[in-house]
Amino acid sequence: MHSKRRKVESSSHSDTNRHDEQEALGKWQVTPVLDDDVMSDKVMLLDVYVDKVTDPKHTSRLIRDLNALCPIPSLQHLKRVSKLGMILNLAPEEETPEICLQKLKDWGLDTAGLGCEPRRLQVPAVPPRTRRQYEEAMKLWPCNFHENRYLEKVLSGKLFDDTDRLEQQKYMTKCLEAARYSSESGGAGVGALVVDPAKKQIIAIGYDDRGRYHLKHAVMVAIDLVSHSHGGGAWTEEARSRYSHGSPGSSDPVLKTGPYICTGYDVYVTREPCVMCAMAMVHSRVRRVFYGCPSPHGALGTTIKLNTLKCLNHHYEVFAGILESECKNILTTCPKNSVVNF
Amino acid sequence: MVNKWMDEALDLATEALKAGEVPVGCVFIYNGDVIAKGRNTVNETRNATRHAELNCMDQTAEWCMENVHDFATVMSAVQVWVTVEPCIMCASALHSLHVAGVMYGCKNDRFGGHISVLNTALLFPDPSPMVGGLESDRAMQLLKDFYKGTNANAPHPKVKKITT
């Protein structure tokens, strides 16, 4: 009887929890941190010479001849002809329409069917990467577009449903606990968590401890805890004894056959990581990074977007804004003298 | 010109190669003495951030504890000799600690945080000076020797191997 009552109580309690969690979902939004090339809907422009087609019977022959005599590899994304006319060639600043036309004649172009009065026109210089860019580009000149469905989903904010967001909120709530611990123990008030999304298993939780050692940023600590769970690690023992918030990975027997470092893992961190931590996550081959609030020294959106540097050999996805205001609040309550610059 | 500190760093890089690690070695000089000697221990620690420079920083922190010195003060007077251009992570850590200077050997085309991939100095208000090109051939040869062999723990490479 007694135990039954307790059961009822606990279930109603979890209903309230669920209600609170749902309500909290409405208070934050995920923002993807993407390459500027993708975010912008401004179309880069390039000058070309365009001529009217006076006799449509010649259109297909002209396209064939122009593509053979004067191919324009940099403008493969554009149709050669539109209702505005036919693209003859690129239009360098110093080149007059007469020179352009003369060159084509010299190369052997039969100009029958053309108006022979080329005019300068601005056309999209690069292939559109998003549907919005495509729509903008189409206003200027017809072009080809291969839609990246995943990217469109990310841009439209439809990548994550409520189940995903509840999970993100759950993990960030755990990060916040670590961040509070950090703030109380002289750190910068930042917490980080590494999770294996395939198994929904938390591998490690780290807290910022830079008051004691300059390099102990939450992300660096969490990465080292992951190494410990794989049978390695450099700092772990000390960090674990001081902060015992469950890290099932690290209490496991030595896991020698783990994935390559953090391959496939997601990292949650309350504050936008600095450039050192952002690069540490590249080296560790993290899959996705979720952070709460931006930071003035942040390298995943604020000062730079390290995740979009094309020459790096690994790229993770970045999403900002998870429980943003809660994350920000911890930072403002954190004692100022403990926050070392960067 | 032969420099004894770079020689010492190259010895550490050679040791890393023998241990199956990416051959990068580093020494920290403080008041004319070596206070830290490090090499890559990524495979040993299963932690991809355990680069020579960060290992040296940990050693310096220990040295400061033992000798009752302030870590930040010591670091700001440290000269760093490292065989390869520090990566973006290490270069950032060094700038953030305002080390007196960084002398390195060959460039790091894949991850370099000085000139090769990202100039991290631009992200710090008071960056440390960095100079490269010392004994770069010897440093590069060690890397070439490493990449000729195989790193059993690495995933299939997407990027071309380092070339000069």
Domain spans, chain A: 39-153, 160-333
Paired tokens of A260: 């390559």
- Give one word for B29, left, alpha or beta, with left for phi > 0 and alpha for psi -120 to 50: beta
- Give one word for A201, left, alpha or beta, with left for phi > 0 and alpha for psi -120 to 50: beta
Q: Which residue of A has its CA nearest to B122?
A: A303
Looking at residues A73-94, what average pLDDT do you find? 95
Burial of residue A252 (number of CB atoms within 10 Å: 0-12, 13-18, 19+): middle
Tokens 């200077």 sit at which residue?
A: B101
Distance from CA of B1 to the nearest CA of A (A): 33
Q: Where does the pLDDT of residue A251 fall: very low under 50, low under 70, confident under 90, or very high at 90 and above? A: very low
Of the given ranges (A132-136, A208-212, B107-111), which has the lowest mean pLDDT? A208-212
Q: Which one of B8, B15, B44, B53 is the catalytic residue? A: B53
B49, B117, B125: residue with CB nearest A220: B49
Strand-pairing partners, residue B34, are B29
Contact B138, B10 (CB under 8 A): yes
Q: Where does the pLDDT of residue B162 fall: very low under 50, low under 70, confident under 90, or very high at 90 and above? A: low
What is the Cα–Cα distance from A325 to A293, expressed in whole angstroms? Answer: 7
Q: Around Cβ A196, how many Cβ atoms within 10 Å?
A: 20
Of the given ranges (A22-26, A53-57, A267-271), which has the lowest mean pLDDT? A22-26
Secondary element (H or E) of residue A203 = strand A201-207
Taking chain B, what is the end-to-end CA distance rounded to the nearest angstrom?
21
Question: CATH for A160-333, among 3.90.470.10, 3.30.56.10, 3.40.140.10, 2.60.120.560?
Answer: 3.40.140.10
Tokens 């360098």 sit at which residue?
A: A92
Closest CA to B9 of B33, B31, B22, B28: B28
Paired tokens of B92: 């950032």
Of the given ranges (A14-23, A282-291, A316-325, B57-66), which has the lowest mean pLDDT? A14-23
What is the Cα–Cα distance from B55 to B67, expressed in whole angstroms? Answer: 18
Q: What per-residue confidence (pLDDT) applies to A17?
A: 76
Q: What per-residue confidence (pLDDT) applies to A25?
A: 85
Give A283's contacts in chain B (Cβ within 8 Å). 48-49, 87, 89, 111
**Residues B66-99: tens digit of each pLDDT:** 999 999 999 999 999 999 999 999 999 999 999 9
Q: Is the CB of B117 less than 8 angstroms away from the CB of A283?
A: no
**Residues A45-69: tens digit of each pLDDT:** 999 999 999 999 999 999 999 999 9
Q: What per-residue confidence (pLDDT) applies to A233?
A: 84
Contact A50, A139 (CB under 8 A): no
Instruction: Supply the pTM of this predicted model.
Output: 0.84
Q: Is the CB of B47 less than 8 angstroms away from the CB of A224?
A: yes
Q: Is the CB of A313 less than 8 angstroms away from the CB of B61?
A: no
Distance from CA of B8 to the nearest CA of A (A): 23
Paired tokens of A89: 């060639």
How is chain B split into domains, by residue range? 4-148
Q: Around Cβ A315, how many Cβ atoms within 10 Å?
A: 14
CATH superfamily of B4-148: Cytidine Deaminase, domain 2 (3.40.140.10)
Residues 6+ apart with CB under 8 A from A205: A174, A175, A178, A191, A192, A193, A194, A222, A225, A243, A245, A246, A247
Whether residue B53 lies in the annotated active site:
yes
Contact B115, A311 (CB under 8 A): no
Higher pLDDT, A244 or A168: A168
What is the Cα–Cα distance from B99 to B26, expressed in whole angstroms? Answer: 14
